[in-house]
Amino acid sequence: MQARAIFEAAADVAKTKIKVKPEVMIPLVGFKKEFDLQAEIVHRVAKEVMSEKKIKFDYQVGTMIEVPRGALTADEISQGAEFFSFGTNDLTQTALGISRDDMGSFLMPYTENEVFKKNPFATLDATGVGQLMEIAVAKGRKTRPDIKLGICGEHGGDPDSVVFCHKLGLAYVSCSPYRVPVARLAAAQANIEEKRATKKK
């Protein structure tokens, strides 16, 4: 139903001569077969809609990397997935075994005792969660060198997290609207710093 709604809208817009390229993202994927089964439905519906509407348009099917197994088997998943978007809110929850909704009761003692240097739901845990992302990026690119990589979550509006993602080679960010200016500024600063470092070498 969701795929049909996306593709029917894309077809209607394409008929007005506006270029469209929808991206359909399968969430919470941990197994290649899990992705493949869902992608099969998306591709079938896309063909049906293009036939019914008598118009063709490009589209991509990718996945959210938000469970550890998805990150660790990214080389298998990227055989079918054309892009990854790191769902860092859920990846943090599943990697740390902590519920974002319940952590208010123990965040302060964890921070005071330096278990957390920063709130892991505000600033990406680069050592733990970040390592899973590094693995996923390397494995995804091994299978699909041109894979599109991005981040989706509140971390996308945190300057430190944006810098980390920039170093990983992530190309886009999706976050709450009010965080977009901060994300853009952090991404620009990370890009400038990278260029400066390259010039020094």
Q: Minimum mean pLDDT among 19-23, 73-77, 80-84, 190-194: which range?
A: 190-194
Supply the DSSP symbol for 62. E
Most confident of 41-50, 107-116, 178-187: 41-50
The neighbouring-strand residues paired with 67 are none
Bridge partners (DSSP) of residue 62 are 25
Q: CB-based contacts of 174: which residues, under 8 Å, 6+ apart?
A: 85, 150, 151, 152, 153, 156
Given a cut of 90, whether residue 198 has pLDDT beyond it is no
Mean pLDDT to the nearest integer, 117-139:
95
Paired residues of 146 in beta bridges: none
SS3 of the chain: helix, strand, coil, percent, to 5: 55, 10, 30
Closest CA to 83 of 117, 59, 103, 104: 59
Radius of gyration of the chain (CA): 19
Q: What is residue 83's DSSP assignment?
A: E
* Tokens (6 digits) for 7: 């593709």
In three-state secondary structure terms, 136 is: helix
What does the pLDDT average to over 25-30? 96
The pTM of this model reads 0.89
pLDDT at residue 65, as a whole number: 97
Q: Which listed CATH number (3.40.50.1110, 3.20.20.10, 3.40.50.720, 3.20.20.60) goes with 25-32+62-200?
A: 3.20.20.60
pLDDT of residue 138: 98
pLDDT digits (tens, 9 = 90+) for 34-78: 999 999 999 999 999 999 999 999 999 999 999 999 999 999 999
Whether 3 and 41 have beta carbons less than 8 Å apart is answered as yes
pLDDT digits (tens, 9 = 90+) for 87-102: 999 999 999 999 989 8
The answer, yes or no, to whether residue 109 has pLDDT greater than 80, is: yes
Looking at every residue in the chain, the average pLDDT score rounds to 93
Q: Where are the domains of the chain?
A: 25-32+62-200
Average pLDDT, stretch 135-158?
94
